Structure 1
Amino acid sequence: MKEEILFCKGGGCTAKLGAGILESVLGKLPRPTDANLIVGFESSDDAAVYRLTDDIAFVQTLDFFPPMVEDPYTFGQIAAANALSDVYAMGGEVKTALNIVCFPETMDLNILGKILQGGSEKVMEAGGSLAGGHSINDTDVKYGLSVTGIVHPDRIFRNNTCREGDLLILTKPLGVGIVCTADRIGESSEEAMEKAIRSMTTLNKYAAEVFRKYDVHACTDITGFGFLGHLMEMVGDKYGAEIDSIEVPYIREAVHYANEFYITSAGQKNRNHIGDRVLFKDVPFAMEEILFDPQTSGGLLVSLSSEDARAAISEIEALGMPCGIVGKITGSEDKRIIVK
C-alpha cells in the first residue's frame, strides 16, 4: 500500500528563508571579482546579470517552492510565472528555461505531468524555450525554473537605484499569501482564491514591456519579503519612502482574513526584520499585515519620475491589471518607510 502524500502543505514564497537568516549567511561569502558580472548577490537583486558584449548581457535566475494550491496544473503555472518574473524585474527578455523538480516516486506521475504542463505553457507565453531540467526523488513536491534572459547592459532595471521624488507603481494586488493561508484551512471564499490565482498566474511580462518605454530608476518584484521588505531593499540606507495605503491595490477579502489572524509565519518574519524602520500612521492592523505579507508571483514595484509614472500607469491600467501609484521616495533626512 502506497503511503499517502499530502500535495499542498503550504508553500509558494511563504516557504522562503527569512531575510535576516539569508543576510547572516550571504554576508560571509566572498564577493565575485569578474568585472563583467554587472549585478551579483551583494544588492539582493532579483537576478544576476553578466555582460557578454557591449550590447548584450544575460540575466540568470532560478526559483522553486512547494505547492500553495491544490491543483497541480495551476501550481505549475504559478511556479513558472514566479520564476520568470525575476527576468522581467531586471528589464530583460526571457530566452530559455530549465525545470527544477522534486517529486516523490510513490506519487501519481500524472500529477507531475500536470505541473510540468502548466509550467511549460507559461514559458511559451513568455516567448521562451523550455530546454530541459533536473529532477530528484523527494519526500515532498517542489517545482520551479532556472531561467536565462537577455538585456542591454545599459538598460538594466536595478532594485536599489531609486531617486528622491520618484513615484512608486505597484502592478499587482497584495494579499495572496493571506488568501492562500485562509484557503488552506477552508476559510477562503472561491472568489478570493480566484483573484489570488489570477494574479499569481499573470506574467509580469506585459507590465515590463510598458516600463521598458520609460526611464525606470529602480524595479523589483514583490515576493517572499513582502511589499515593505522589497521596498526596504529599494530605498536601502540612502532614502525613505511615504506610502499611501489607500492607493495600494490588494485583494479585498484579505482584510477580513488578516483580522481573523489567517496570516503566515513568513509575514511575521518580515515584520520582525524591518519593522523598526516602518512607521504606521493610523493604518489598520489588517493593512499592516497585507503590506508585510509574502507574495507568490507578485507584481512589479517600479520607481520612476513623476512624469513617467503618470504616463506609465495609464498604460498599465489599460492592460486591466489592478495597479496604483502607491507612494514616493523621500530624502535621506528620514530613512524610514512611513505608511499613512
Structure 2
Amino acid sequence: MAQENRTDVAPRLTSLSHGGGCGCKVAPSVLSSILQQNPLFPAPKELLVGIETSDDAAVYLLNSEQALIATTDFFMPVVDDARDFGAIAATNAISDVYAMGGRPILALALLGMPIHVLPSSTIAAILRGGQEICARAGIPVAGGHSIDSVEPIYGLAVLGLARPEHIRRNRDARAGDVLVLGKPLGVGVLSAALKKDNLGADAYHRMVQTATQLNTPGPLLAELPGVHAITDVTGFGLLGHLLEICRGSGLSAHVNAGDVPLIAGVRDLAAQGMVTGASNRNWASYGQDVELRTADSLMQALLTDPQTSGGLLVTCEAAARDAVLRIFRDEGFMDAAVIGHMLDGPARVLVT
C-alpha cells in the first residue's frame, strides 16, 4: 500500500481530524470515571466477559463448545492515504477478537464521512483497504452503517468464536509469569512525525507494515496451557494496557526497558519531540501507578505511546516462553520479545 493513492483534489485526511488512530481514545482516567457513573444491567450467566476488567471484547457463551466474541473499534485517520487508513483501522478492530483467543467470523463496517469534503473515490478507497484486510483474515464484511460526519471515521464491529476454555482474559495473569510483547512500539511517534511532515518513505512503510499485521498468534497462543492472559496494546500505550492486566489480576509487573522492542527510527524521532498529546494524557491518567527507575529519559514517552493496531501482550509460565515465542515467529512476528514478568504486589508497574 503506497501513498500515491492520495489525490490533489482531496484534503489530507489527517488535516480533517483533531486526533488520529488509537490516539483518539478517551484518556483511561476519564473513561473510568464515565463508566462508574453508569450502573450495570444485571448480566446473564452466559455473559462470560463484560466491562468489569477492561477486557478487549465481550464474550457470550453459546453452548459448551462455543463462545461468541463481540467487539467494535473505530477512529479518525492516522495516515493520509485512504486505503492505508482503512487497512489500519480494520486490522486494529479485528485484533480484539484475536486478543481474546478467538478467530473472527464476520465484520460490519462503521463509516462516518464528511461527504461534501471528501470525494467518493477517497471514501471508496478507505472501504477497500478495510475489505482487503478482512479478506486476509478470512472474513466477509457482511454489512454496516454510515453517516455524514464532520470528521472522517472508520472502523468495524467484529464477531468471532472460540472454545470457552480458550478465552484469555486480562485478569488471569499469575505471579511469576513472563511478559511477551508481539510487536515493536512506536506507531504513535511515527504518526506524530507524519502530521509534522517529518516522516520519510521508509519509516512510513514500516509504520503501515506494523499497523496492518494481523495478530493471528492470538488463538494459537490461547491453546497453550501455559498462557494465562492476553491483551493487545493500543491507545493507552504499553504501560496502560499492562496496568489493566495488573489491576484485573491483582498483581504487580516489572518491565525491563532495554528489552522492549521499538520500530526502527522511533527512538530518534521521539528524541526530536515527535510525541503525541495522547502520550502525555496517558501518563497523567496512570503515571501514579508506575515507578520509572530507568535512566533512559525517553522511556516515559515510548511506554505511553498510543499504539494504533499494536501487538499482543501475553503472560505465560516460564516453561511456555519458548513455545510462545515460536508461535510469534512462525506467524511472522520477528520482533516479539520477553520484556518482563509479573509478581506479587499491588497493581503497579516497575520499569528498570
Q: Shorter-chain TM-score: what band?
A: over 0.9
Say if 1:245 and 1:283, in contact at 8 Å, map to a contact too.
no
Q: How big is the shift at 1:335? A: 4.1
Say if 1:256 and 1:286, in contact at 8 Å, map to a contact too.
no
Listed as ranges, the gaps of 5+ residues in structure 2 are: 1-8
Match of 1:286 in 2: 298
Indicate the SS of the match to 1:236: helix
Match of 1:87 in 2: 97
Say if 2:243 and 2:347, in contact at 8 Å, map to a contact too.
no
Match of 1:122 in 2: 133
The CA distance in 2 between the partners of 1:85 and 1:250, in whole Å, is: 20
Match of 1:97 in 2: 107
Say if 1:175 and 1:290, in contact at 8 Å, map to a contact too.
yes
What amino acid does structure 2 have at the position aligned with 1:286? Answer: L
Query: What's the CA shift string for 1:205-230, capped at 9, x where partnerless?
Result: 1x224313312211100001000000
1:8 aligns with 2:14: yes
Match of 1:173 in 2: 184
Say if 2:101 and 2:220, in contact at 8 Å, map to a contact too.
no
1:267 aligns with 2:279: yes
The CA distance in 1 between the partners of 2:178 and 2:41, in whole Å, is: 33
Indicate the SS of the match to 2:111: strand
1:228 to 239, 262, 267: 239
1:76 aligns with 2:89: no
Indicate the SS of the match to 1:97: strand
Give the direction of change, closer, same or farther, for the CA distance of 1:159–1:5 in structure 2 (3 Å limit). same
What amino acid does structure 2 have at the position aligned with 1:339? Answer: V
What amino acid does structure 2 have at the position aligned with 1:267? Answer: S
Indicate the SS of the match to 1:186: coil
Indicate the SS of the match to 1:193: helix
Indicate the SS of the match to 2:208: helix
Match of 1:208 in 2: 218
2:29 to 11, 20, 35: 20
Match of 2:265 in 1: 253
The CA distance in 1 between the partners of 2:241 and 2:32, in whole Å, is: 14
The CA distance in 2 between the partners of 1:35 and 1:212, in whole Å, is: 22
Match of 1:109 in 2: 120
The CA distance in 2 between the partners of 1:119 and 1:319, in whole Å, is: 21
1:45 aligns with 2:55: yes
What amino acid does structure 2 have at the position aligned with 1:87? Answer: V
What amino acid does structure 2 have at the position aligned with 1:8? Answer: T
The CA distance in 2 between the partners of 1:98 and 1:82, in whole Å, is: 14
1:324 to 313, 337, 340: 337
Match of 1:139 in 2: 150
1:188 aligns with 2:194: no
Give the direction of change, closer, same or farther, for the CA distance of 1:318–1:154 in structure 2 (3 Å limit). closer
Indicate the SS of the match to 2:63: coil
Say if 2:100 and 2:218, in contact at 8 Å, map to a contact too.
no
Say if 2:103 and 2:219, in contact at 8 Å, map to a contact too.
no
Say if 2:221 and 2:327, in contact at 8 Å, map to a contact too.
no
Q: How big is the shift at 1:108? A: 0.5
Q: How big is the shift at 1:264? A: 1.1
Q: Which moved more, 1:252-261 or 1:314-323?
A: 314-323
Query: What's the CA shift string for 1:67-119, capped at 9, x where partnerless?
Result: 11111001110000000000000011101100000012212001111111110
The CA distance in 1 between the partners of 2:327 and 2:106, in whole Å, is: 28
State how many pairs are aligned. 336
Scaled by the length of structure 1, the TM-score of the pair is: 0.95
Indicate the SS of the match to 1:217: strand
Indicate the SS of the match to 1:160: coil
Give the direction of change, closer, same or farther, for the CA distance of 1:134–1:44 in structure 2 (3 Å limit). same
Say if 1:103 and 1:137, in contact at 8 Å, map to a contact too.
yes
What amino acid does structure 2 have at the position aligned with 1:313? Answer: L
What amino acid does structure 1 have at the position aligned with 2:215? Answer: N
The CA distance in 2 between the partners of 1:37 and 1:255, in whole Å, is: 42
Say if 1:259 and 1:285, in contact at 8 Å, map to a contact too.
no
Say if 1:73 and 1:117, in contact at 8 Å, map to a contact too.
yes
Scaled by the length of structure 2, the TM-score of the pair is: 0.92
The CA distance in 2 between the partners of 1:70 and 1:335, in whole Å, is: 39
The CA distance in 1 between the partners of 2:341 and 2:140, in whole Å, is: 38
The CA distance in 1 between the partners of 2:53 and 2:294, in whole Å, is: 32
